[in-house]
Amino acid sequence: MSEAKQIHSRRAAPSTPGPALGALASVEEALAHILERTNTVNGSERTGLDSALGRVLVNDSVAAVDVPPADNSAVDGYAVCSGELGAAHTTLLEISQRASAGRVPPPLRAGTAARIFTGAPLPPGADAVVMQERCRADGKRVLLPGGVEPGAHVRRAGENIHRGQVILPAGLRLRPQDVGLAAAAGLATVDVRRRLRVGILSTGDELAEPGQSAPPGRIYDSNRYTLAALLRSLNCVVIDGGIVADDAGETRAAIADLAGNSDVVISSGGMCLGEEDHVRAAVESLGKISLWGVAVKPGKPLAFGRVGEAAFLGLPGNPVAQHVAFCLFARPLLLRAQGASDLAPPAYLVRAGFTRAQACARREYLRARIERRGQGEQRAVLHHNQGSGVLASTVWSEGLAVIPEGTTVAAGDRVEFLPNAGLIG
C-alpha cells in the first residue's frame, strides 16, 4: 500500500498511544499518531471567490442556478427543427433570424432556420443545430444536409449543474477549477475555515539574519524563510518568533509566547539531545511531547506534542531534513487542522534511473527529478549529493523518490515518486 493510501486508511483509526519515546516510529506510525491528535480549528469566515483559492470549505456549496441556464448551441451553425429536414437528402430553408449569446431569441418560425452562434440560447421550436461547415448559405437561405438527429450540437439546460446540486463538498481545499465552478453556479462567496495561526522559530547561536553581516562561524538562517513560505502556500498566518539562542530560558520563553498566540508551533533545529539543544526540555516543561524520532532519512529528529492549546511540531535543523519532515508530517497536520478531507499527496510509480546497492534501516526520501525518454518512458534520477544540508538539491529536484526501509534498488526497478507539485505546490 502506498503512503498516500495509508494516510487515508488511518483517518478513522482509533487513538493509539504511539511508539515509546525511546523508539523510532515508522512513517505510518508517526503520521497516524500526529493526525489522531490534531483537531480541526474552530471558526469560519465568508470570503469572496477572488480570495478563496487554497481555503477549505466549511459547508457543502450548492448551485444557485442551472448550468447552462437554457438549451444552447455548442457550435456556430444553424438552428433547425430536425423533423423538417429530409432523412437522406438536402433541404433548402429560409434564414428567418439570428441568435447570439446573451439574448433570448424569439420562437423559430416553421419551415425556417436560425443563424446561431456558440453559446446562444436555442430558439423555441428548434431542437438541433447543424455545424456551419456542413451547410451552404447565401445570407438569405441555407442548404442543410439530411440525417440531422434531434439534440445534435445542443447543450441541454442543467446538463452541467442542476440548481440545488452540491457542487463542492465540505472539507475540499479549493483549487482554481473549484473556484471557477462556484462562479459558474452563481456563487459569489463561500464559507471557509479560518486561517491557521502558525508560530515558527529557528534555534541556534550559529544563525544570522539574511542581509546582516555573518561573522566567522555563523550561517544565514534559511530554514525559517523556507518554513514561512511553505506555510503561506497553505494559507496559514505566520507568526515569526525569529532566531532563538541556544539558551534554555530563551527557548522556553519563545515557545511559550508563540503557543499563547498560535494554533500550531513549529520549531526548526535543536532537536537532538546535546547540551546545546533545549527544545525538548522546553516543551516538556510547558506541555507534553508524545512522539520523538522517526525512522526516516533525512528527518529522523522530529518531535510532536502540545503546549497548552497549541500543537507542537519540532523539525530538524538540517535544511533538507526540515523540507522532508515538513512534506511528510507538517503538511498533513496543517491540512487536518484546517478541516481538509484529502491529506494524501499524489504519488505514482516510475522506473529508477539509479541504483541503491545498500539497504537502509530507515525509509529514504531522495531528491529526484524525472527524465523523459523515448516512447513515453519516465525514469527518476537522483541529485548527485543527497546530504541533508544540501538545500540546492531541493531546488534542482522535481520531487522525492521513496525507498522503503531494508530495500535495495536496481536501475529499472519501480519506485514511488512524490512530485513537488503535490507536496509543496
Task: Summarize pLDDT for 397-414 with one digit per residue, the tens.
Answer: 999 999 999 999 999 999
Of 253, 256, 289, give the one whose Cα is nearest residue 271: 289
Sorting pLDDT into bands at 50, 70 and 90, what band is 107? Answer: very high
pLDDT score for 375 = 80
Sorting pLDDT into bands at 50, 70 and 90, what band is 139? Answer: confident
Q: Is the pLDDT of residue 425 over 70?
A: no
Tally: H helices and E strands in the chain? 10, 26
pLDDT score for 18 = 52
Pick the residue with more confidence: 293 or 424?
A: 293
| pLDDT above 90 as % of the chain | 89
pLDDT score for 274 = 62
Of 376, 293, 324, give the one whose Cα is nearest residue 33: 293
pLDDT score for 373 = 83
Question: Mind listing the pLDDT tens digit for each residue in 161-215?
Answer: 999 999 999 999 999 999 999 999 999 999 999 999 999 999 999 999 999 998 8
* Mean pLDDT confidence for 272-285: 82
Grid cell for residue 254: 519563545
Sorting pLDDT into bands at 50, 70 and 90, what band is 6? Answer: very low
Q: Contact at 8 Å (CB) between 329 and 383?
A: no
Pick the residue with more confidence: 56 or 275?
A: 56
pLDDT score for 88 = 85
pLDDT score for 9 = 33
Q: Is the pLDDT of residue 13 over 50?
A: no
* Mean pLDDT confidence for 325-347: 96
Close Cβ partners of 60 (under 8 Å, ≥ 6 residues apart)? 166, 168, 169, 170
Least confident of 24-38, 66-80, 147-161, 259-273: 259-273
Site of grid cell 470549505: 57
pLDDT score for 14 = 39
* Mean pLDDT confidence for 31-54: 96
Of 261, 267, 296, give the one whose Cα is nearest residue 418: 296
For residues 77 and 19, give the distance between their C-alpha atoms in angstroms, rounded to a whole number. 68
Least confident of 72-76, 125-129, 211-215, 271-275: 271-275
Q: pTM score, two decimals?
A: 0.86
Sorting pLDDT into bands at 50, 70 and 90, what band is 424? Answer: confident
Mean pLDDT, the chain, rounded, equals: 93
Q: Is the pLDDT of residue 277 over 70?
A: yes
Residue 86 corresponds to which amino acid?
A: G
Grid cell for residue 280: 525538548
Sorting pLDDT into bands at 50, 70 and 90, what band is 35? Answer: very high
| Total Cβ atoms within 10 A of residue 421 | 11
pLDDT score for 319 = 96
Buried residues in 364-396 as b, exposed as e (16+ CB within 10 A): bbbbbbbeeeeeeeebbebbeebebebbebbee
Grid cell for residue 137: 448559405
| pLDDT above 70 as % of the chain | 94
